[in-house]
Amino acid sequence: MRSKLAAGNWKMNGTRAALDELGAMAEAAGGAAEVLICPPATLVAEAATKADGVMIGGQDCHAEAKGAHTGDIAADMLKDAGASHVILGHSERREDHGESDEDVRAKCRAAWDAGLVAVLCCGESLAQREAQNTLDIIGGQLAGSIPDGATGHNLVVAYEPIWAIGTGKVPTTDQIGDVHDFIRARLERRFGEGVGRSVRILYGGSVKPSNAAEIFAVSNVDGALVGGASLKATDFVPIIDALNASAE
């Protein structure tokens, strides 16, 4: 059985005071669902010492292990700071920094070399969905971004429709289910049934306390990658609770 995962992406939000939120999140973390918070890189080390029971991740890493890359962070540095996971290929990185599938694939290899779990994001734009290209886009991103050697221990896939991120718009549960079933089938086809079934697939895009339970009831949804609603424990704890309840 795959365990559930509630992951928070704090993006470029939070100074040290924000870490006070971790206490209540840690209290909610004792149930069936694992809890992961990915704060800004400046907070990873301190978060890792404070967050008993909450795993800490980075939001990106460089594809190389070290070198002349001003402003970048190597996977091994995140690991050394106490991170266990790293988000890769988020649509904001793909858009803001022009990251290609090939770039994401190289970063994923670097993350694995450092012993980090990659939380690999994929998702279609509104135009792509309206043109009925969603599954082609997702299939291409999975094929291009995931290196050979994926396992349920080193990879989590996050399906995040770009048009649902930070907009309050959420796909129907049927739309979410169709994409998650497709991702599962693609993982099984490429990596074999055992591995394909063991990789967790998260949904991301405007998950809130009010819609979490119905999203978690969809087949092949193993949890969520949450942006805005992961910043405050008052929002994120009910989402963790809903995920715990879905595992019962």
Catalytic positions are 90, 160
Candidate list 57, 171, 196, 205; residue touching ligand PEP; CB under 6 A: 205
Nearer to ligand PEP, 63 or 170 (CB): 170
Backbone φ, ψ for residue 176 (5° rounding): -65, -45
Residue nearest ligand PEP (C-beta atom): 227
Nearer to ligand PEP, 94 or 196 (CB): 94
Min. distance of Cβ 226 from ligand PEP in angstroms? 5
Residue 206 sits in the site that holds ligand PEP (CB under 6 A): yes
Question: Which has the closest alpha carbon to 158: 142, 137, 174?
Answer: 142
Min. distance of Cβ 160 from ligand PEP in angstroms? 5
Residue 162 sits in the site that holds ligand PEP (CB under 6 A): no
Min. distance of Cβ 188 from ligand PEP in angstroms? 25
Max Cα–Cα distance, the chain, nearest Å: 49
Name 156's bridge partners. Answer: 119, 200
Candidate list 161, 171, 223, 227; residue touching ligand PEP; CB under 6 A: 227
Residue 244 sits in the site that holds ligand PEP (CB under 6 A): no
Amino acid at 5: L
Give the number of residues in contact with ligand PEP, rule: CB under 6 A.
Answer: 13
By the criterion CB under 6 A, which residues form the site for ligand PEP? 9, 160, 165-166, 204-207, 225-229
